[in-house]
Amino acid sequence: MTEAELAEFLRVEGLCDGTPVVETMKGGYLNQVLRVTAGSRRLVVKRFATPMAGTLFPNLPADEAEALRRLAGLRVAPDLVGFWPERSILVYAYVEGAPWSGDPAAVAALLRRKEAADPAGFRRVPIDAERILAEGDALFARCRAAPSQPRPRAARLGPPARLSLIHTDIGAGNLVGAGEALRLIDWQCPAQGDLSEDVHSFLSPAFQILSQRPPFTAADRASFLTALGREDVVERYARLRPAYAWRMGAYCSWRAEVLTDPEICARYRRAAAAELGDMEPLE
């Protein structure tokens, strides 16, 4: 779709009058994301690419639209404007504000607000250590290079008290705004799972590196976990962290081998090394 075709689509759907200003937004590794300014209205138009097979982060347009519907009014995600599945186009309100500034308490509060959303019907992801580790094993099996660290042992623990609607990809690049205005964007791979997985994706060194930010310090992590105020989730995160790190390290190792952009491949290699070096369980 050309810029002129996009403008015509928006006019036909009643989303703008006249000629909008269209800008390509930076960030992301897969979909095309455009910011559209039409008078005083600012929208984000996401055009979904064909998803890769066998990835931890599937590209699910209909699921993103449904997640935004369920999160409406919770002050967690952008406001959905519309979804056109036949065109693989999703439109939502542009989130005003700067990229996340580094306030862990704001992210903790956002995760607590998110718990009000109904997770039923979304894809189910593993919630026990052995299955999480097995996903990492499958990804390492595709790699030419062997992992730099041995596979961690699987912690034995029961299921969480309840399943949550989880984002699965809370890198800093997907957080916009500050305080209660903080919003979590890019919901193309939501799931029904363990809230501790979202905790890991936020605190993970790999996710930070892929967002082109330095990994968190031990003090940063402790501050966030204290602000979360969920001892049950913190305990699960502490025990599942080695399994999550193994799987994310495997994912980054695989991506580093299959992608072609040298800079992005190098970033994934750094992320893999950081993740596999961070598999010690928390005390």
The structural domains of the chain, ordered by start, are: 3-93 (3.30.200.20), 104-276 (3.90.1200.10)
Whether residue 219 has pLDDT greater than 80:
yes
How does DSSP assign 218-243, residue by residue?
HHHHHHHHHHH--HHHHHHHHHHHHH
Within 10 Å of residue 80's Cβ, how many Cβ atoms?
A: 20
Give residue-wise pLDDT tens across range 21-51. Answer: 888 887 556 788 999 998 888 999 999 988 7
Query: Residue 37's pLDDT is what?
Result: 92
Q: What is the mean pLDDT of the chain?
A: 93
Whether the Cβ atoms of residue 192 and residue 122 lie closer than 8 Å to each other:
yes
Chain segment 164-205, per-residue pLDDT in tens: 999 999 999 899 999 999 999 999 999 999 999 999 999 999
Tens digit of pLDDT for each residue in 246-282?
999 999 999 999 999 999 999 999 999 999 998 876 5
Radius of gyration for the chain, computed over Cα atoms and rounded to the nearest angstrom: 19
Q: Which of 67, 62, 10, 70 is nearest to 41 (CA)?
A: 10
Q: What's the whole-number mean pLDDT along residues 154-160?
A: 94
pLDDT tens column, 2-28: 778 888 888 889 888 778 888 888 755
pLDDT of residue 6: 84
Separate counts of helices (H) and strands (E) for the chain: 9, 9
pTM, two decimals, is 0.93
Type and span of the H or E element at 255: helix 231-258
Tokens of residue 6, six digits: 């996009």
CB count, 10 Å around CB of 235?
13
Compute the C-alpha angle 41/186/22, nearest 5°: 35
